[in-house]
Chains A and B, each alone.
Chain A
């Protein structure tokens, strides 16, 4: 079965500093990988996704993520964090249709941005 681990429950960075949020997944085949952001009281918004091809994917709001099959990782990065990036971030893995058609989420990482 698929699973996702986000090792960091909370991360605090200074505004303007770089950011990396870690995500490790477990899945036997080629995964679909996603990063979502959730602000308080808001729904989940897709930041970026990896389906196939180039392992470095660009997303919205200046985020990027790199798929590393050898490390089973899909870490999210941003070179310069803005105060508005404070939110909770979820990594998720999706399976091809015959395995269930659902997303499996990690427990999330809460990002705090200090000025």
Chain B
């Protein structure tokens, strides 16, 4: 079946512009995650959705970053007033449910190919 897809694959923008990055999770997956991977680093957590609601947005670096998932499927990560430091690969992952529960099953996160954002 289809995996997690992300569009666009590449986005080049100018400092100060607004960008939207889209994630299409695997059908039926209730959990959706956004991570950011800067050059030479591992992915860093940004936000986690369970259904339509953001269950954990503790990784968003500042209020220029916002994400939505209005119907519990597709998610959009929105970045206002982009800065050069926002340049990175933005990864989306989805999972059948949350990561795990005490004593319960573990749900694997399936990652998309990422969107490479370059801010000039």
> Which residues of A are in contact with B by a Cβ distance under 8 Å?
4, 6, 32, 36, 41-46, 49, 51, 90, 92, 94-98, 100-108
CA distance A43 to B35 in the complex (A): 12
Q: Mark B20-38, 1 if CB is under 8 A from A, else 0.
A: 0000000000010101000
Q: How far is the CB of B113 from chain A (nearest CB, A)?
A: 4
Of the listed residues A44, A49, A94, A96, the one surrounded by the most CB atoms of chain B closer than 10 A to its CB is A44
Taking a contact as CB atoms closer than 8 A, the residue among B33, B42, B108 that contacts A90 in the complex is: B42
User: How would you classify the secondary structure of chain B's contact residues: helix, strand, loop or mixed?
Assistant: loop
Q: Is the CB of A32 within 8 A of B99?
A: yes
Q: Is the CB of B56 within 8 A of A100?
A: yes
Q: Count of A-B contacts with CB under 8 A?
A: 78
Pairs across A and B, CB under 8 Å, 12 listed: A43-B4, A43-B114, A45-B111, A94-B99, A100-B48, A100-B58, A102-B33, A103-B43, A103-B109, A105-B43, A105-B44, A108-B41
> Taking A43-B4, A97-B98, A107-B41 as contacts, is the C-beta distance between A102 and B59 under 8 angstroms?
yes
Give the contact-size bracket for chain B.
20 to 34
Tell me if B91 is interfacial: C-beta within 8 Å of chain A. yes
A32 surroundings in chain B (CB, below 8 A):
99-100, 106
Q: Is the CB of A105 within 8 A of B42?
A: yes
Taking a contact as CB atoms closer than 8 A, the residue among A100, A101, A107 that contacts B31 in the complex is: A101
Q: How far is the CB of A27 from chain B (nearest CB, A)?
A: 13
Q: Is the CB of A96 within 8 A of B100?
A: yes
Q: Is the CB of B48 within 8 A of A101?
A: yes
> Taking A42-B113, A101-B31 as contacts, is the C-beta distance between A107 and B40 under 8 angstroms?
yes
